[in-house]
Amino acid sequence: MRSVLGLPALSFVIALAVSVAADRPKNDADLPAWVEKTVIERQPTAAERRFDEIGWLTDIREAIRLAKEHKRPVMLFTHDGRMAIGRC
Amino acid sequence: MRTGPFSNKKVVELLNAYYVPVYISNEDFRGKGGAPAEERKELHRIFQEGHKAKLSVGTVHAYILSPEGRTVDSLHVAEAAKVERFIAMLEANARKFEVPAGKPVVKPVPQSTVAEKAPEGSLVLHLVARSISGGGWGGVPGENWIVYAREEVGKFLPSGKAAVGTTWEIDKRAATKLLTHFYPETENNDVSKNRIDEISLKATVVSIDRGTVTARLEGRLKMKHPFYHKDEDRFVNATMVGFIEFDSGNRSVKSFRLVTDKATYGTGAFAVAVRSVD
């Protein structure tokens, strides 16, 4: 899952780096809001979830069955790790 | 592939309009992996047909199968990751099989989900880990779904009655099950290869309101985590803060939040966020 970042993506990463590295507040009273905001900021973005816009299957036999039914070819990607959760 | 071709608008359109897209993880097809024997046989057949047709064959590849399921084209991942090269293969085979454009055969749905429906009373935590500066691959963040069965949930809670100021150390095994995933995107994701040298997750009650107890969490972790599948002295060093809310009556967890405030991996930095999911 190596990436080759273009400039727009790089700008995004830099902006993101600023937000994810934001300092913890010194005042304990501000901590709950900061934790909540930080959890939200660190979630995968729509751009990072574009992969979800593909109508994926994860079973080869089912893919072939549907390929025959719909007279479409199959694109099978085989990989190490878990692409769906970015752990690969 | 996920940050390259599979995030490309044209590729998404081609796969949805002309193909049946499928992906598999090799881990499921090795040794005690979860793929059934019939599925393994199919993958083996696809490889064998690729060899016979003198196509590029390997474990990290993109294959095109005909509508009858025969192996007709392939690209090694190093080639498939080149968006234009991958598009060319998709367009050529869509033309070859005279596929009319249509709707996706399967409705697109989020691919990162909890593996199985969690039993009632479980605590489901969703973890996101992302590189900040050279901590991991970069690109998309790593995610994990950690499910605590009802009997494990109690290990996050104090053994006795809680009052404001009550402090307790969360059970080491329960903390480890979560914190072992505190590392950025790396090639090695076998957490059995981690070595935890220091772990602590402490809770302190900060408020009690109509039976809902809110406790602040403070934690730290020092963990050896090899980047690749070979041993190396690369360490996670992290401190974290968060909150847990639980019902003092039935001792169910209502909400869980935990974020790193400082986290390094080797010479890089990363960030983690954990939230409970209903």
Complex-level ipTM:
0.92
Q: Are residues B80 and B128 in the same domain?
A: no
Please answer yes or no on whether A81 and B27 come within 8 Å at the CB atom: yes
Question: What is the least distance, in Å, from the CA of A59 to any CA of chain B?
Answer: 7
Of B96, B131, B163, the one marking the end of a domain is: B96
Question: What is the least distance, in Å, from the CA of A71 to any CA of chain B?
Answer: 5
pLDDT along chain B (278 residues), means of 10: 95 98 97 96 98 98 98 98 98 98 98 86 96 90 96 95 96 98 96 97 97 97 96 97 96 97 96 96
Q: Give domain status of residue B22, yes or no.
A: yes
pLDDT at A17 over 60: no
Residues from chain B contacting residue A82 (CB–CB below 8 Å): 25, 27, 189
Question: What is the least distance, in Å, from the CA of B9 to any CA of chain A?
Answer: 8
Of B96, B131, B146, the one marking the end of a domain is: B96
Q: Are residues B193 and B78 in the same domain?
A: no
Q: Are residues B72 and B160 in the same domain?
A: no
Closest partner CB to B271 (pick from A20, A49, A78): A20
By the 8 A CB rule, do A65 and B5 touch?
Answer: no
Q: Are residues B267 and B135 in the same domain?
A: yes
Q: Give domain status of residue B28, yes or no.
A: yes
| Residue B154: domain span | 123-277
Q: Are residues B61 and B129 in the same domain?
A: no
Q: Are residues B247 and B173 in the same domain?
A: yes
User: What pLDDT does A16 receive?
Assistant: 52
Q: Give domain status of residue B60, yes or no.
A: yes
Q: Are residues B253 and B169 in the same domain?
A: yes
By the 8 A CB rule, do B146 and B173 touch?
Answer: no
Residues from chain B contacting residue A58 (CB–CB below 8 Å): 22-24
Q: Give domain status of residue B255, yes or no.
A: yes
Please answer yes or no on whether A53 and B46 come within 8 Å at the CB atom: no
User: What pLDDT does A3 receive?
Assistant: 36
pLDDT at A14 over 90: no
Residues from chain A contacting residue B207 (CB–CB below 8 Å): none
Query: Is residue A27 very low, low, confident or very high in pLDDT (cuts 50, 70, 90)?
Result: confident
Residues from chain B contacting residue A81 (CB–CB below 8 Å): 25, 27, 187, 189
Q: Are residues B227 and B265 in the same domain?
A: yes
Q: Are residues B36 and B151 in the same domain?
A: no
Of B45, B78, B96, the one marking the end of a domain is: B96
Q: Give domain status of residue B220, yes or no.
A: yes
Average pLDDT rounded to a whole number, residues A69-78: 98
Kindly give the residue spans of alpha helices, DSSP state H, lying in A21-76: 31-41, 60-70
Q: Are residues B160 and B43 in the same domain?
A: no
Provide, rounded to the nearest whole percent, the portion of chain A with pLDDT above 90: 67
User: What pLDDT does B139 receive?
Assistant: 85
Domain total of chain B: 2
Q: Give domain status of residue B117, yes or no.
A: no
Q: Are residues B129 and B235 in the same domain?
A: yes
Residues from chain B contacting residue A30 (CB–CB below 8 Å): none
Query: Is residue A15 very low, low, confident or very high in pLDDT (cuts 50, 70, 90)?
Result: very low
Please answer yes or no on whether B133 and A17 come within 8 Å at the CB atom: yes
Mutating which of A12, A23, A35 best tests the B interface, going by the most B Cβ atoms within 10 A?
A: A35
Q: Are residues B127 and B91 in the same domain?
A: no
Q: Locate tokens 């084209």: which residue?
A: B73
Please answer yes or no on whether B69 and A47 come within 8 Å at the CB atom: no
